[in-house]
Structure 1
């Protein structure tokens, strides 16, 4: 096990991990809104666009199911190296063909790489950080993995009309390979794993099931926004979509860091309801697609709620488990993240045609509002536990 002791928050391994995650996740976010556009423009339509994101998330989810065992066998260093390679190299193949089978095959490989990176990173942070500052450490790490969204999501949309899809795909490959530089200095140790029958049985614990349910609902809405907002805005308004994604991406890591600092001092659970409510209000703003201000503000508010919920739910899950289960908790949290995004993208792709984008966004907002109930129940349960101590 990696010893945390009295290590400072930004130790050398933490900085190297942040740099590795920064480069690899920039590669991922650069292509996240581009691949659906590439697929749709090649004749596969909304369903093909949704499938490109959905298949990525499916591969991520399947890989995440075995990640605790994977990290226990190969360790953090080897795991991160393999994840970066799977995440980056297949992107170059998209230059060769825009056919749906090629897009889906590369999406599968990238999804597996994404799973390794996003599960290993938070689990390693949880072990490296002092327990009393774990929420803040996760918030700082959230900023490191949030910067790629700030840069990648809008820059990809701005670059494609200027230089085309091919160079953007190659840039994604180059960024992922750049992440390999810091990996040799990451801790080598295998992640400790307790055997409790796999990842999903942890949901039998209500203290884990509630934050997972809340987070999965929010990520479902996130999958819809990130996949379909560039397609939903009126023709000629791609600048609005890029600006909205930029606002979303800036708000997300700031809210994640602020939630970590506040949660360490005042409790994490009290932030669940405000985070969900902010996300609901933000999603409601996307109904007015003809109003660029409503779209941009809505995307920013959703990003703030999404970012806060990321840190709160993950910190709660680590606090309610022991260090040997951190890899398992990270895998479960990421299952909620990627499963929600995949289901949201594919499901919205099926309903967007019949009902239209504005009604579809309104329906997603209504689904998101359902997460207020488990959020409130978790806060009430946490307060009851504290009052009984």
Structure 2
């Protein structure tokens, strides 16, 4: 009788995820978050405080300052792929950090509304260049078979500083003066410039090793290339739909709370991004193994369920649970959509992927907040929030077409 034998062949080792180059990239990620978010809430407060008395709406000056910042950010995101094609991702990342940091020092000499708006435009452009070019560099630095997990870790490295920088900027401004905020927000991105020079160039051997040989989208780089590619555009639109809900959660829900829940706004705004970070990490862990497309439907379902729960603006348990559930779904879509886009793109389109996804993020948040704010004035907050929750599953049509194209 022949003896039965078993194969003991070892599984191939997984590619190393956190490399010295990726750790170096984390420096500019954290610097970008600190430089952008530290003054984000402090500047509108300062603008309103220094506005001419009797000039109209007391919140108008602050809105103009941050409006200029966000508008410039979207413009910069759309221009970034064109600049990267001509100057290189590393140069554009360095230019973004310089534009984000250096103009902030001008506010040490004047905080008039024209100066606040002008520096906001420059800083918005800088932030856009840094996140788009930096995102492309990050994607190229992580192995393709672990890209979802690598992007999730990079997302956490960005999210944690931004989570603390926003309230810290307000506290520092009140405790020590806005000048301290401006010095820190200006110095940190400039100091991070030293780390950019040592990053590998996009297209080098280290970076190109991260690009899958089965990329299905291969064309000239640029934002138009992304808009013409359904394989890239559909995941971006799926995420933009969820980002529209996020814009409502941040902008509209806190002001609509009633009764005992009216004091929950700070907790709500802490629970949602914390849950989103957890959702993003889980999506990175499981997306690489199961397929990033498979997480689109659970992400949409969780986002819609969370928004529906938060429509109960007077119920403390439903609000907290809704913020947590929505955060998990939003975080899952954050990671799965951009991972799926990178998976389908050649390295020449990495900048386009980053720009398209970030533009969907910012544009979705702005459109969602504006649309639901207008609708709430007509039919009430609760009905508007429920309408948004019921509308979100329409994005499933895009998911189905994306899955069909992939197969």
TM value normalised by structure 1: 0.81
The answer to whether the Cα contact below 8 Å between 2:304 and 2:393 also exists between their aligned partners in 1 is no
- 1:127 is aligned, of 140, 151, 160, to 140
Q: In 2 relative to 1, CA 368–165 (structure 1 residues): closer, same or farther, beyond 3 Å?
A: farther
Does the residue aligned with 1:31 lie in a helix, a strand or coil? coil
The answer to whether the Cα contact below 8 Å between 1:14 and 1:125 also exists between their aligned partners in 2 is yes
In structure 1, how many angstroms separate the alpha carbons of the residues matched to 2:266 and 2:391?
A: 29
Spell out, residue by residue over 1:6-61, the C-alpha distance to the aligned partner (whole angstroms, 9 max, x if none): 96211111111112101211222233344444445656545555544443232122
Tell me if 1:210 matches 2:238. no
The answer to whether the Cα contact below 8 Å between 1:275 and 1:308 also exists between their aligned partners in 2 is yes
The answer to whether the Cα contact below 8 Å between 1:57 and 1:341 also exists between their aligned partners in 2 is no
- The residue aligned with 1:187 is 200
In structure 1, how many angstroms separate the alpha carbons of the residues matched to 2:253 and 2:110?
A: 24
In structure 2, how many angstroms separate the alpha carbons of the residues matched to 1:293 and 1:36?
A: 32
- The residue aligned with 1:263 is 287
Range with bigger deviation, 18-27 or 225-234: 225-234
In structure 1, how many angstroms separate the alpha carbons of the residues matched to 2:397 and 2:41?
A: 33
The answer to whether the Cα contact below 8 Å between 1:76 and 1:187 also exists between their aligned partners in 2 is no
Q: Which of the pair is proportionally richer in helix?
A: 1
Tell me if 1:142 matches 2:163. no
The answer to whether the Cα contact below 8 Å between 2:45 and 2:62 also exists between their aligned partners in 1 is yes
The answer to whether the Cα contact below 8 Å between 2:133 and 2:351 also exists between their aligned partners in 1 is yes
Mark the runs of 5 or more structure 2 residues left unpaired by the alignment: 1-13, 209-216
> How many residues are matched?
378
TM value normalised by structure 2: 0.78
The root-mean-square deviation of aligned C-alpha atoms, in Å, is: 3.6
Query: What pairs with 1:338-357 in structure 2 (closer than 5 Å)?
Result: 338-344=362-368, 351=374, 354=377
In structure 2, how many angstroms separate the alpha carbons of the residues matched to 1:92 and 1:233?
A: 38
The answer to whether the Cα contact below 8 Å between 1:244 and 1:297 also exists between their aligned partners in 2 is no
What's the offset of the Cα at 1:163?
Answer: 4.1
What's the offset of the Cα at 1:195?
Answer: 5.8
- 2:394 is aligned, of 373, 382, 385, to 373
In structure 2, how many angstroms separate the alpha carbons of the residues matched to 1:151 and 1:341?
A: 21
Range with bigger deviation, 264-273 or 56-65: 56-65
Larger relative CO (CA 8 A, sep 6+): 1 or 2? 1
- 2:403 is aligned, of 359, 382, 386, to 382
In structure 1, how many angstroms separate the alpha carbons of the residues matched to 2:254 and 2:48?
A: 11
- 2:89 is aligned, of 58, 68, 76, to 76
- The residue aligned with 2:213 is none
Query: What pairs with 1:262-341 in structure 2 (closer than 5 Å)?
Result: 262-287=286-311, 295-341=319-365
- The residue aligned with 1:108 is 121
The answer to whether the Cα contact below 8 Å between 1:50 and 1:348 also exists between their aligned partners in 2 is no
In structure 2, how many angstroms separate the alpha carbons of the residues matched to 1:110 and 1:367?
A: 32
The answer to whether the Cα contact below 8 Å between 1:54 and 1:345 also exists between their aligned partners in 2 is no
What's the offset of the Cα at 1:353?
Answer: 9.4
- The residue aligned with 2:278 is 254
- 2:27 is aligned, of 10, 19, 40, to 19
Does the residue aligned with 1:141 lie in a helix, a strand or coil? helix
Range with bigger deviation, 16-25 or 370-379: 370-379
The answer to whether the Cα contact below 8 Å between 1:269 and 1:379 also exists between their aligned partners in 2 is no
Q: In 2 relative to 1, CA 15–314 (structure 1 residues): closer, same or farther, beyond 3 Å?
A: same
Range with bigger deviation, 39-48 or 217-226: 39-48
Mark the runs of 5 or more structure 1 residues left unpaired by the alignment: 1-5
What's the offset of the Cα at 1:194?
Answer: 7.2
In structure 2, how many angstroms separate the alpha carbons of the residues matched to 1:31 and 1:52?
A: 11
Range with bigger deviation, 269-278 or 197-206: 197-206
Structure ID, larger Rg? 2
In structure 2, how many angstroms separate the alpha carbons of the residues matched to 1:24 and 1:108?
A: 16
In structure 2, how many angstroms separate the alpha carbons of the residues matched to 1:188 and 1:201?
A: 22
- The residue aligned with 2:9 is none
